[in-house]
Amino acid sequence: MNTARAVTSGLSLRTRMGWLHAWVGFVCGLLLLCIFITGTLAVFDTEITRWMQPEFTGGSLARPSDAALARASALVSEQEAQHHRVSVTLPSARDPVLRVVQPEGMDVITTAIDPVTGEVLNLRKTVGGTLFFRFHYTLRMGRMFGVVLVEALGIGLLVTLGSGLVIHLRALVPNLVMFRPNGASPRAWMDAHVIAAVLFLPFTFMVAWTGVVIHADRIFPFTAETRQEGGGGPPGRGQHGHHRDALPIPALGPILDDATQLFGEGGTGFLQFSPRSVSVMRSDASTLPQTRDRAEYDRRTGKRLKVTRQRSGPAQTRQVMTGLHMAHWAPTPMRWLYFLSGIAGSVMFGTGLVMFLLKRRRTATSRHFLALVLAEGLTLGTVIGLPVACAAVLWANRLVPASLTDRMTTESACLFLVWGICVVHALARALQKHVLHGWREQAALLAVLLCLLPALDIATRWQWLGQQKQWDYLGVDAATLMLGLMVLRGCVFLGRSIKREAVK
């Protein structure tokens, strides 16, 4: 025992933390990278959904007309009769239509209604940005197991951040903006890793901590029970029940007017329906704290029953933490900062994974060959494979016929199919000991998919081009083009590395 104790106590703190950082970082990092990439895309989920519905031309920020609200009521009643949970989102600056939203398994089916005319808009069915949003916090593994896994990974991220801080503590301030791309092999990777980690540390720590806290109910199960007893949980949860005995929906116009007086102009976010009441929730975009204030109305008479506002210290803290993580409050420039920070987080994971493998590749013996192949393949399949799959979803959205009945399934299947192919390709290349070629091939594919996406957008959207506001499309196209060019630059770099290796 004493010898055993000496083995660990002989190691320096930095060495112990280095081991922890490397292994927890690698094991959790593969999935955390997926969470970061999809979370980064989810910052612009509404805009991505708009991009994926190129037929959309209208929209209005004004209060929905009575005709539009009546149409929404009819659709809600129809869905309730089939025992579906359903809600209605009100027009906002980001999404200026009335939407009837119905969760369907891991996806969400929405029906868009013109807020002025009340006509149902003929838009293609799409998974939209919701695919990335839901993947971000469930990994498409269900709301129980998936969320618990993501929570555990979030704790892993906090461990990795803590151990990383201890390792780099001495060099933290001097190396804050130090980047030496021409340094020896691990140096450039290390600098990129440290810059992405340290400069964005407040963001990374914030998203990790708030992300775990938001769904903390899932990892402390009895907490969830007591919350429901106390009724202090997030509003709206557990209120839906069965809609078999639901009363008819009253006129929504007066309800909305009353709620607007309560929450202010543009302060109403969405409507929720329970068998006995209709709730109007405050818009998440109105303030940084995601308050979820709600006004509840009697479903029989349409009269206001109560207004729920949580203003205790802990409740406000929870609202701020949720608001900070979700960024629904954020204006467009702030969203771009979230997006850039998300990319930096992904770069941090990507460079960390690469450094882990660089070191192991040098010291690996033939006994570790299969483990190394697996690690190399999974890393490549995640770092490049997942972005390729995400880009493929956007391509599929425009190439699959708009009238196809199973469009949503096709789009989400496309993500996993392409991702699977990328992983298999990566494993095959790693098995052949040509993993660098694999990196270049997948990076080239990603660059092509991203760089050509704007062309695909214009080619498949030209008939509605003149009647649309271009900002959302321009934003998605410009971002993909920029990222595509960066990946292309990486491709050139990889090509040079392969040539150098061949000369050796």
Partner 1 sequence: MKLQMHRSSKKDRNRMPSQEPGTSAPSLLPARLLIALLLAWPIGLAITAAVPSLLPASHADGLFVAQVEAVLIMPLAILFLCGSSTLSRGLLATLAAFLATFPLAFMFLAFGSP
Partner 2 sequence: MSMFAIVLAESSLLWGVGLACHGALQPAWLRRQTVQPAISLQQWMKRLRVFLPLLALILAVALAGGEGLVAWIASAGPAGVLVALALSATARKHA
What is the rounded (10 degree) CA torsion for 284, 287, 288, 293? -50
d(C-alpha 308, C-alpha 297), whole Å: 12
Q: List the single partner that 195 binds among partner 2, partner 1, none, CB under 5 to 8 Å by kind.
A: partner 2
Alpha helices in 384-434 (DSSP H): 385-399, 407-431
Single-letter residue type at 249? I
- The binder of partner 2 chosen from 137, 297, 338, 439 (CB under 8 A): 338
C-beta closer to partner 1: residue 2 or 463: 2
According to the binding rule CB under 8 A, does residue 178 interact with partner 2?
A: yes
Q: Contact at 8 Å (CB) between 56 and 50? A: yes
d(C-alpha 170, C-alpha 349), whole Å: 21
- The binder of partner 1 chosen from 190, 198, 423, 445 (CB under 8 A): 190
Q: List the single partner that 359 binds among partner 1, partner 2, none, CB under 5 to 8 Å by kind.
A: partner 1
Structure tokens of 493? 């770099």
Q: Contact at 8 Å (CB) between 430 and 361? A: no
d(C-alpha 204, C-alpha 206), whole Å: 5
Residue ranges in 315-374 that form contacts with partner 1 under rule CB under 8 A: 315, 317-318, 321, 355, 359, 363
Q: Interacting stretch for partner 2, rule CB under 8 A, among 335-343, 408-416, 430-438, 468-476?
A: 335-343
* 264 Rama sector, left if φ>0, alpha if ψ -120 to 50, beta otherwise: left
Q: List the single partner that 341 binds among partner 2, partner 1, none, CB under 5 to 8 Å by kind.
A: partner 2
* 88 Rama sector, left if φ>0, alpha if ψ -120 to 50, beta otherwise: beta
Output the smallest distance, CB 290 to partner 1, in A: 14
Single-letter residue type at 377? G
DSSP letters for 333-351: HHHHHHHHHHHHHHHHHHH
d(C-alpha 474, C-alpha 493), whole Å: 29
3-state secondary structure of 42: helix
Q: Contact at 8 Å (CB) between 164 and 205? A: no
Output the smallest distance, CB 328 to partner 2, in A: 13
Q: List the single partner that 14 binds among partner 2, partner 1, none, CB under 5 to 8 Å by kind.
A: partner 1
C-alpha distances (whole Å) from 339 to each of 139, 203, 348, 416 are: 20, 11, 14, 23
According to the binding rule CB under 8 A, does residue 344 interact with partner 2?
A: yes
How many chain residues bind partner 2 (CB under 8 A)? 27
Q: List the single partner that 159 binds among partner 1, partner 2, none, CB under 5 to 8 Å by kind.
A: partner 1
Q: List the single partner that 344 binds among partner 2, partner 1, none, CB under 5 to 8 Å by kind.
A: partner 2
Q: How do the residues of the chain divide into helix, strand and coil, expressed in percent and rounded to 5?
A: 65, 10, 30
According to the binding rule CB under 8 A, does residue 181 interact with partner 2?
A: yes
* Binding mask of the shown chain, residues 157 to 186, with x at each position contacting partner 1 by CB under 8 A: -xx--xx--xx--xx--xx----------x
Residue 81's nearest CA partner among 353, 225, 273, 229 is 273
Q: List the single partner that 19 binds among partner 2, partner 1, none, CB under 5 to 8 Å by kind.
A: partner 1
Q: Interacting stretch for partner 1, rule CB under 8 A, among 35-43, 210-218, 238-246, 379-387?
A: 210-218
How many chain residues bind partner 1 (CB under 8 A)? 61
Structure tokens of 306? 């109560």
**Cβ neighbours for 180, distance < 8 A, ≥ 6 positions apart:** 187, 188, 191
* Binding mask of the shown chain, residues 277 to 296, with x at each position contacting partner 2 by CB under 8 A: -----------x--------
Q: Contact at 8 Å (CB) between 277 and 295? A: no
- The residue with tokens 């838009």 is 123
C-beta closer to partner 2: residue 191 or 296: 191
C-beta closer to partner 1: residue 32 or 101: 32
According to the binding rule CB under 8 A, does residue 405 interact with partner 1?
A: no
According to the binding rule CB under 8 A, does residue 451 interact with partner 2?
A: no
Binding site for partner 1 (CB under 8 A): 2, 4-24, 155, 158-159, 162-163, 166-167, 170-171, 174-175, 186, 190, 209, 212-213, 216-217, 219-220, 222-223, 226-227, 229-233, 312-315, 317-318, 321, 355, 359, 363
Binding site for partner 2 (CB under 8 A): 174, 176-182, 191, 195-196, 199-200, 202-203, 288, 320, 324, 329, 331, 333-334, 337-338, 340-341, 344
